[in-house]
């Protein structure tokens, strides 16, 4: 990177500095809006003992699921297992530490981390195993659980467009966890479909300001469909 230019030319440069034992926050929902190339680079690097925070862990053989194949992930913080048989197997066999978190709570934990809010109260999960070991409080007659925010050493996200300054625009359902994840990393790397010049993005349409983003790379995406549904002929 040079000055405000945050564009890098290789996946090696994009993920430089990722080390064993770090925490990685990944945007996406299922296979929608996932940073495919950045995940593949982590696989290539062989980085291990990772804590990965994401809505789910991809599917077998694609997305974050490929990091389970060589047991690069030590702990997974997610809202559900999804259709990943290897994830399920490692969870049930005790090979993978899993912290299941309600989906809205997970999103808010990322957002709070990015906003510098250390913790917040939510009614979700009160009276369930989710609340075990956590502070609870009654406020105006309703019970709440204190949930800590989440931050990561790296955040990897997928965006539609970016300029060289790192301003990001997400498209349609890629607006899932990506905007929150982008704010919560010490180093945020955005894999994007198109890079434009500063000034080409309409300011009112920018979802994530470049101040949150350290690196931008133009990706090539497979855009695999998790479950293809077609009408019978």
Total structural domains within the chain: 1
pLDDT of residue 220: 83
In a domain, 188, yes or no: yes
In a domain, 58, yes or no: yes
* pLDDT beyond 60 at 57: yes
- CA 229 distance to own-chain centroid: 26
* pLDDT beyond 80 at 1: no
In a domain, 166, yes or no: yes
Beta carbons of 189 and 162 less than 8 angstroms apart: no
In a domain, 231, yes or no: no
In a domain, 91, yes or no: yes
In a domain, 124, yes or no: no
pLDDT 10s digits, 180-224: 999 999 999 999 999 999 999 999 999 999 999 999 999 988 777
**Surface-to-core class of residue 55, CB atoms within 10 Å of its CB (0-12 exposed, 13-18 middle, 19+ buried):** buried
Q: How confident is the model at residue 48 (pLDDT cuts 50, 70, 90)?
A: very high
pLDDT of residue 233: 67
In a domain, 123, yes or no: no
pLDDT of residue 187: 97
Rounded mean pLDDT, 222-230:
71
pLDDT of residue 140: 97
* pLDDT beyond 70 at 104: yes
- Torsion on CA atoms 18, 48, 76, 131, rounded to nearest 10: -90
Rounded mean pLDDT, 70-75:
95
pLDDT of residue 3: 61
The rounded mean pLDDT for the chain is 93
Lowest-pLDDT range, 50-59, 98-107, 182-191, 218-227?
Answer: 218-227
pLDDT of residue 114: 96
Rounded mean pLDDT, 89-93:
92
What CATH number does the domain containing 104 carry? 3.40.1080.10
Q: How confident is the model at residue 171 (pLDDT cuts 50, 70, 90)?
A: very high
Domain that holds residue 188: 11-116+149-217
* pLDDT beyond 90 at 154: yes
In a domain, 224, yes or no: no
């Amino acid at each position: 990177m040079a000055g405000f230019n945050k564009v890098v030319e290789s996946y090696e440069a994009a993920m430089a500095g990722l080390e064993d034992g770090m925490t990685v926050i990944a945007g996406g929902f299922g296979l929608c809006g996932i940073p495919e190339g950045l995940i593949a680079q982590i696989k290539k690097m062989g980085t291990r003992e990772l804590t990965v925070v994401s809505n789910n862990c991809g599917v077998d053989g694609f997305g974050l699921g490929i990091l389970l194949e060589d047991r690069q992930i030590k702990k997974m913080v997610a809202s559900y297992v999804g259709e990943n048989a290897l994830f399920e197997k490692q969870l049930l066999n005790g090979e993978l530490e899993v912290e299941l978190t309600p989906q809205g709570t997970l999103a808010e934990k990322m957002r709070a981390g990015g906003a510098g809010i250390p913790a917040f109260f939510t009614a979700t999960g009160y009276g369930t195993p989710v609340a075990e070991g956590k502070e609870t409080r009654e406020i105006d007659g309703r019970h709440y659980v204190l949930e800590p925010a989440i931050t990561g050493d790296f955040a990897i996200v997928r965006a539609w467009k970016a300029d060289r300054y790192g301003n990001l625009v997400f498209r349609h359902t890629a607006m899932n966890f990506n905007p929150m994840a982008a704010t919560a990393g010490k180093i945020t790397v955005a894999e994007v479909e198109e890079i434009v010049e500063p000034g080409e993005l309409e300011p009112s349409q920018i979802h994530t300001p470049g101040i949150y983003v350290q690196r931008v790379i133009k990706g090539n995406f497979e855009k695999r469909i998790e479950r293809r549904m077609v009408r019978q002929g």
